[in-house]
Amino acid sequence: MPLTTNTILICAGGACISSGEESVKNALERKIKEYNLQEAIKIVETGCMGACSIGPLMVIYPEGVYYQKLTPKAAEKIVEEHLLKGRIVEEYLYKGDKGKIVPQPQEEIPFFSRQVKIATRNLGIIDPLNIEEYIARDGYFALYKALKEMKPEEVINTIKESGLRGRGGAGFPTGLKWEFARKAPGDEKYMICNADEGDPGAFMDRSILEGDPHTIIEAMTIAGYAIGANKGYVYVRAEYPIAIERLSEALKQAHEYGFLGENILDSGFSFDIEIRIGAGAFVCGEETALINSIEGKRGQPRVKPPYPAQKGLWGKPTNINNVETLACVPPIIKNGPQWFRQWGTEKSPGTKVFALAGKVKNTGLVEVPMGITLRELIYEIGGGSPTGKKIKAVQTGGPSGGVIPEEYFDTPVDFESLTQLGAIIGSGGMIVLDEDDCMVDVAKFFLEFTVDESCGKCTPCREGTKIMYEILNKITNGEGTEDDIETLEKLGNIIKDSSLCGLGQTAPNPVLSTLRYYKDEYIAHVRDKACPAKKCRNLISYVIDTSKCVGCTACARVCPASCIDGEIKKPHEIDQEACIKCGSCIEVCRFGAISKVSPALD
């Protein structure tokens, strides 16, 4: 029994690691050792706590104090002041939105209190590399229940009744998928976990694997039992080295404890899991391409049908579930389908993890009940705009999704409602856009991504997305015509209908949905050669308001093209010919004298 008086949970999610978690941890350890407190204070690295915008962050228990935006220096101060002397270091205290000091933000700050954590229940709470902490949080009890007290059909029925739907994007009922695989003839079957998370901005799967790897092992074993598979694969991208490392360690532990291998829990059922590392192609998140990749073939999708449930990996019946979906399985088995249904809506029960990004105060991972409105999600949990500028829309579902304008923010977030609006829940990426974001530019950004990631197997996707991208490029450069807009719409619908896999079928969505709600912006680009958001570089000019300019020369000094001229204390002027439109001058002007205009000046 360790003589622990304080436990420090430090977030070791990807975002916090990138912002310097390791050096903070090292500083903590160094200072703790200096004061000879290493036996009394335990440091635990946890998975992503979700509040990425304030990272690196840590919680000190038993007080439950959150410290944010840590540096090694901050860590040293916290050891000396908080741990040694018991004084809270207010400088780094996480205070929430209102600036009020809240010692236990999990209970009082909306970012935490509005969340319901099922898939991310252990993130930031347990040490991911400690199997016993997972067990302490009811880990592997569902496995016991499934293997010893339930028939495979009962397991499938429980999942069916819970209404759990695939969290990877398509929202297909998980229980039904399991049933197909179970009923497919054949005595050799496979269970695959799809951890090839590829949507730009979405990182919930990585966070779950990093922060709670055992839940995936437990869920896959349960699923294996339900469908009749003895072998599982986790297909995870090589860009997730920490996830791979922690999952490998967790697999080892699960073997030691007898949760994997032969005759698990004395039930007669045997199951094993192997990790397959993908090379980070977006298309490999598509299930048939993923199967090809595991088989060692080029990662290109197959024609469906046959579906993987009939003819999947090595031609055998295969079931594929996404990480977040699987993370919901153990608590559903343990607590029953009705427990899961207390959250969410009739058709979309439970919760969903969203990756909030863009123009909101609190960016990060949030798990909320389905059916919450976009407004609650963006304003209450996300904290609204950080700059006070008007939020214009939200982009959901990444390169397969679309935009939802502000006037629809009272729509409940569930699979059907968002699809009706031309967007999708997708994997849960949510990018908040404000008045500075140009919708044509947003569409172009996602199209560029799909053009890069199209595998090239089918023509509509390979050629079509490229042509759409070129047209968007033309429009943002001010060379588009009204015919181009029509072509975009027509081509988009053709690609949607005729592509082979989900990648191509959804690739035009960002364009089609921006066309649906923001056609006026497209028209402004082609007819007036103007970008209403003043974002597209070729359609704007920077100008100095001579009545406001005091001639401080700050802009002239910072201009990399040396295109700003003027005498000291006299209004300056920008040479439009030489201006490269980098925007440096606006940033340094303290008098608000520089602004953007669109269309561009000649």
Partner 1 sequence: MPKIKSLEELMKIKEETLKNVKMRESGKRGKIIVAMGTCGIAAGAKETLNAIVEALNEFSVEDIKVVQSGCMGLCEVEPTIKVEIEGEIPVTYGHVTPENAKRIVKQHIVAGDLVGDLIVKQGEE
Residue of 9, 79, 353, 503 that binds partner 1 (CB under 8 A) = 9
Please provide residue 531's backbone torsions phi and psi, each rounded to the nearest 5 degrees: -105, 110
Q: Which residues have a Cβ under 8 Å from the Cβ of 227 and sit 6 or more positions away?
A: 152, 156, 178, 181, 182, 189, 191, 317, 319
CA 147 centroid distance within chain: 33
Nearer to partner 1, 5 or 562 (CB): 5
> For partner 1, which stretch binds (CB under 8 A), given 83-91, 115-123, 182-190, 269-277?
83-91
Taking CB under 8 A as the binding criterion, the range among 136-144, 150-158, 241-249, 532-540 that sits at the site for partner 1 is 136-144
What would the two tokens of residue 323 be? Answer: 């990480």
Does residue number 180 form part of the binding site for partner 1 (CB under 8 A)?
no
Verify binding: residue 140, partner 1, rule CB under 8 A: yes
Among the listed residues 241, 258, 268, 583, the single contact to partner 1 using CB under 8 A: 258
- How far apart are the C-alpha atoms of 383 and 379, rounded to whole Å? 5
| 3-class secondary structure, 569 | coil
In whole angstroms, give the CA distance from residue 193 to residue 512. Answer: 31
Q: Which is nearer to partner 1, 140 or 240 (CB)?
A: 140
- State which of residues 27, 51, 79, 83 lies at the interface with partner 1 (CB under 8 A): 83
Q: Using CB under 8 A, pick the residue from 43, 71, 129, 141 that binds partner 1.
A: 141
Asked whether the beta carbons of 190 and 312 are under 8 A apart, the reply is: yes
Stretch that binds partner 1, among 15-23, 85-93, 168-176, 497-505 (CB under 8 A): 85-93
Identify which of residues 256 and 520 has a Cβ nearer to partner 1 in the complex: 256
Q: Which is nearer to partner 1, 83 or 443 (CB)?
A: 83
Contact present, 202 and 119 (Cβ < 8 Å) = no
Task: Please give the distance of CA 332 from its chain centroid, rounded to a whole number.
Answer: 23
Instruction: Tell me if 61 contacts partner 1 by CB under 8 A.
Output: yes
Among 138, 272, 463, 573, binds partner 1 (CB under 8 A): 138
> Contact region for partner 1 (CB under 8 A) — 131-139, 206-214, 347-355, 468-476?
131-139
Q: Is 426 left (phi over 0), alpha (psi -120 to 50) or beta?
A: left
Do 32 and 10 form a contact (C-beta atoms < 8 A)?
A: no
Contact status, residue 76 vs residue 33, Cβ threshold 8 Å: no
Residue type, 201: G
Q: Which tokens sit at 584?
A: 């440096």
Q: Decide whether 91 or 497 has the Cβ nearer to partner 1.
A: 91
The stretch near partner 1 (CB under 8 A) out of 78-86, 91-99, 416-424, 523-531 is: 78-86
With binding defined as CB under 8 A, does residue 132 bind partner 1? yes
C-alpha count within 13 angstroms, C-beta hemisphere, residue 248: 10
Cα–chain-centroid distance for residue 63?
30
Number of shown-chain residues binding partner 1 (CB under 8 A) = 38
The first and second tokens of residue 182, run together, are 């179970």
Asked if 136 is part of the footprint of partner 1 (rule: CB under 8 A), the reply reads yes
d(CA 81, CA 79): 6
CA geometry: angle at 215 spanning 227 and 278, to 5°? 75
Provide the pairing of β-strand 351-358 with 364-369. Answer: antiparallel
User: Minimum Å distance from CB 130 to partner 1?
Assistant: 8
Stretch that binds partner 1, among 37-45, 428-436, 444-452, 497-505 (CB under 8 A): 37-45
| DSSP assignment letter at 600 | P
Is residue 43 a contact point for partner 1 (CB under 8 A)? no
Q: Looking at residues 429 to 448 of the shown chain, list those that interact with partner 1 (rule: CB under 8 A).
A: none
273-312 binders of partner 1 (CB under 8 A): none
Contact call for residue 4 and partner 1 (CB under 8 A): yes
State yes or no: residue 90 binds partner 1 (CB under 8 A): no
Q: Which residue among 91, 256, 274, 575 contacts partner 1 (CB under 8 A)?
A: 256
- Work out how close the CB of 49 gets to partner 1 at its nearest, in angstroms, rounded to a whole number: 15
Q: Choose the stretch contacting partner 1; rule: CB under 8 A; options: 111-119, 255-263, 430-438, 541-549.
A: 255-263
Which regions of 280-350 does DSSP assign to beta strands (E)?
A: 318-322
Question: In the bound complex, what is the minimum distance in angstroms from residue 257's beta carbon to partner 1?
Answer: 5
- What does the alpha-carbon distance between residue 548 and residue 252 come to, in Å, rounded to a whole number? 67
Cβ proximity to partner 1: between 176 and 265 the closer is: 265
Measured from the CB atom, the residue of 47 and 169 that comes closer to partner 1 is: 47
User: What stretches of 169-234 show up as alpha helix (H) in DSSP?
Assistant: 174-183, 204-211, 213-227
**Min separation Cβ 207 and partner 1, Å:** 21
Query: Counting contacts by CB under 8 A, is residue 87 touching partner 1?
Result: yes
Torsion of CA 566, 571, 572, 577, to 10 degrees: -120
Least Å distance between CB 101 and partner 1? 17
Q: Is 547 in the site for partner 1 (CB under 8 A)?
A: no
Handedness of CA 196, 199, 203, 208 (dihedral sign): negative
Question: Is residue 89 within the footprint of partner 1 (CB under 8 A)?
Answer: no
Read off the tokens for 399: 């390169």
Token pair, residue 168, equals 């990877």
From the list 181, 430, 437, 452, the residue with the least C-alpha distance to 313 is 181
Binding site for partner 1 (CB under 8 A): 1-7, 9, 36-37, 39-40, 42, 61-64, 83-87, 132-133, 135-136, 138, 140-141, 144, 148, 256-259, 261, 265-266
